[in-house]
Structures are given as structure tokens and as C-alpha cells.
Amino acid sequence: MGRIRTAWVARASSRELDAFLRQRAWHFTASGNYAIAADYVIRILNRCPSDPAGLLLGEVAAKFTQQDVFLAKCREAQRRLCAQRSVADALQLVPAGAEREKLHALLQKARGVPEAVGAVEEQLAVQETEPFAETQGAVRIMAQRAGPLPLVELQQPKQSVYGRGIYALTRVASGTPVMVDQPFLVQRMRGDACAHCLAPVGRGGGAAGGVPCAHCSRETYCSVACRDAAWREYHVCACRSRNEMYAAWEDAMHGRLLSDDTEESRAALACLAVAKLCALSTVRQTHPLALPRIRSLRGRADYDAATALAEVGALAVTLATALHQTHLYMEEVLSLFAIVQTNEFLLPSGTALYHGYSLLNHSCEPNCALVGSDAANRRLVTLRELREGEQLFINYNASLTTRASYADRRALCQQRHFECFCPKCVRRE
């Protein structure tokens, strides 16, 4: 009886997965995110190579992502399927109804696209899933760390062009600390920084060269406390002593991190941060986008449809295999990229993601700034007096825009999908 029950559960689970993959493939095809749709279609066809709807969706996605090999395989599979079923078009094998009509419209659109088309830019927007009250409560705790009474609060006024933001609850004097937050994820760029908190290695009771991982000696930390915390939170499943595949991939990323090409180096840094988030979710046995602090963040990512499937899709497969996350798809990895690239804070020794500070909106003429030498010891301090109800702003590009022109500042903001409405940008100065 137990074996029958196990088989029934396996079949039910398989049907649920098929339905999920199909739903996501349809969703992203309809929304114009063809690279993500192609990733789901490939997974559908790996499970059922003769699925007519999957083959037709694959043709649409392959055409818009310029995946010529995938397109040829889908069309060849359609021809074989039509010959076996004695029909003229694979569309006839799709049950009549709304699905067939949608497929017909999509195929007409795809087949009308010239063979030689330019690269298609796509965009993915990630919205927060954490209830507003929970995020507001977390910000209140951070405000209480700065003083006995909270001076600021997360609000979501309907009339604001920024949406949610952090606002002063009362008049606040210049130079007043109003929030204290610590990063929930850091990614170092240099070997002389702690892999867990970015503090200089050798500090906090550590040896001159830092405290190495007790198992692989690859990662170094500023203290035993950081080493043990990193092991518990994520390094336990990414350590070379336990995961050679992940370590080999990480070596390749570190090689790109040292590249003279700034864009490639930043991309490698983002890849490592995304991988660390996936490792965190593996240890916690939860979905990466369901991690507590990630749930409160928003993000946007622009990507080239022609290359995203090959690069981000391959990264998703690598991380899923290395971290034993069977259902880690391109959608999740790209969503994590969007969150990281929109919310990361660039520091001399690496990048950091903060829960509370990431909720602050950007201005090229900020009224607040993050003060502190280390990622773990940064406080939000006012730069001038704030009136009651005034929104707090920081400059996310402070280290890059000291004397930048309007065009340069706008380009930096567009990389994060920010729209700055400060007087300086409104005047285009």
C-alpha cells in the first residue's frame, strides 16, 4: 500500500510541475519576456519532447531570442510529429479553444519577424512580496537602534512619485543618526576583506592574514565569529571541501572579477552575490525569492534576449545542480540579479545589500548619507535639518557622481532604473 501511495504522490507531483512550467511559459510569452519563456519551454520539452503546444511555444520563443539551433529543433520536431499524426500543422494537435487561438496569434507574430533582426531588449520587474506592515516594523526597529525614540518611519503616501519611502516623524537636526542597519549579504572584491562582513581581515581577534575556513582555507574572515556565522548561513553548502562543482564555478567567477573590463568585473561580482543568495536559500531550505529580507525589495533588470538564455539560463542550471536546488530556474536567477543590481551598495572592498537602507530613495542632492568605514558599522545620518513629514534621500552613486554631469548622473541612475527628481536633475545641471 505504501508503494502505491508513493507512486500516486510522484505522479501528482509530476502533473503539478508540468502545469507550473506550462503556466510560466505562457505567462512570459504573453508578457514579451521570451528568454525566460524559452527556459521554461526547454524544461517542458525535456519532460515531454512531443508536446505540440510546447514545440509551438518553443518556436515563438526561439524566434524572438534568435536561438537558431533551438528554432530548427522545434520545427524539425513539429514536422516529425505532424507526419506521425497525419496532420498538416502542429497547431491542429492543440485542443481547440483559447489556447489554440493564442498560439495561432503568437505564431503569426513570430513568423512575420524577419530572419535578420537586431538584438531584442527585454525587461524584468520584481515587486516586493512582504506585507507592508512587516517591512514597516523592521524599519521601526532599525530607527530605534539609532536612539531611544524612532525619528523616521517607512510610509507609502499615494501622492508621492517615489511610492514608498522613509519619512521623518518629527523635526530632525542636522548630523543626527536616524537609522542603524547591517548588511544581510556582502560580496567582497578583495582578498584583504572579510568574506562575511567586509571588515579588514586580521581585525577582531583574527590572525594577521585573517581566519581561514577550517575546511577549505579558501575563504578568510576577520574573526572566528564571522567564520562560524558564514559556515552556518551559506558556506556549509558552498565550501570546496563539500562542493567541488560550486568551487570550480566560483574560481571562474573570481577570474572574471579580476578583469580589467569594469563591466565584466561588476557582472562577476553580481553573479557571486546571486550565488551566495542561492546558497543561503539552500541552507534555509526555502525559495531564494522567499528569503526574509529579499521579500521586501524591488528590482528591475534589462537584458539582451539573444544572450540571456545562454548566459543566465546556463548559470541557473549550474547553480541548481551545484546547490541541489531542482527547481531553480532562469526566472529566479534573473530576479535575483534585478534585486542585487538595483539595491547593492558599492564599497571599496565589495558590495553590500541592506534591508532598511535599500528602502531609501535616491537623490543627487540627498538630505542623508551613510556614515561609517565598514559595511557592518554604517549609520544613516542627516546632512541638514529635516522637517516633519520630509522624505529621506541618499545618493546611491555618491562615490561616482561628485563632479559628474547631468548626462553621467542620469546614465548611472538608469543602470539602477532610478528616476531622480532632485532640483539639480530637474534643471538638468
Confidence of residue 10 (pLDDT cuts 50, 70, 90): low
Q: Is CATH 1.10.3470 correct for 6-118?
A: no
Domain ranges in the chain?
6-118, 125-181+355-427, 183-354
More confident residue, 266 or 412: 266
369: three-class secondary structure by DSSP: strand
Quick check: 9 pLDDT over 70?
A: no
Which element (helix H / strand E) includes 7? Answer: helix 2-30
Is 33 within 8 Å of 330 (Cβ atoms)? no
Quick check: 369 pLDDT over 70?
A: yes
Amino acid letter, residue 23:
Q
Quick check: 403 pLDDT over 70?
A: no
Q: 285, exposed or middle or buried, with CB in 10 Å at 0-12, 13-18, 19+?
A: exposed
Confidence of residue 207 (pLDDT cuts 50, 70, 90): low
Quick check: 205 pLDDT over 70?
A: no
Is 415 within 8 Å of 400 (Cβ atoms)? no
According to the model, what pLDDT value does residue 264 have?
Answer: 86
Q: Percentage of the chain surpassing pLDDT 90?
A: 60
Which element (helix H / strand E) includes 133? Answer: helix 132-146
Confidence of residue 3 (pLDDT cuts 50, 70, 90): very low
* Nearest residue to 294 via CA among 306, 282, 310, 280: 280
Quick check: 327 pLDDT over 90?
A: no
pLDDT (tens digit per residue) in 286-306: 999 999 899 999 999 888 888
Quick check: 4 pLDDT over 70?
A: no
| Least-confidence region, from 134-138, 176-180, 201-205, 347-351 | 201-205
174: three-class secondary structure by DSSP: coil
Quick check: 177 pLDDT over 70?
A: yes
According to the model, what pLDDT value does residue 186 have?
Answer: 95
Euclidean distance between CA atoms 410 and 398, whole angstroms = 13
pTM for the whole thing? 0.90
From residue 418, alpha-carbon distances to 139, 155, 360, 409 in Å are 22, 19, 12, 10
CATH code: domain 125-181+355-427 is 2.170.270.10
SS3 content of the chain, % helix, strand, coil (to 5): 50, 15, 35
Amino acid letter, residue 147:
G
* Nearest residue to 61 via CA among 375, 330, 297, 407: 330
Is 377 within 8 Å of 197 (Cβ atoms)? no
Quick check: 94 pLDDT over 80?
A: yes
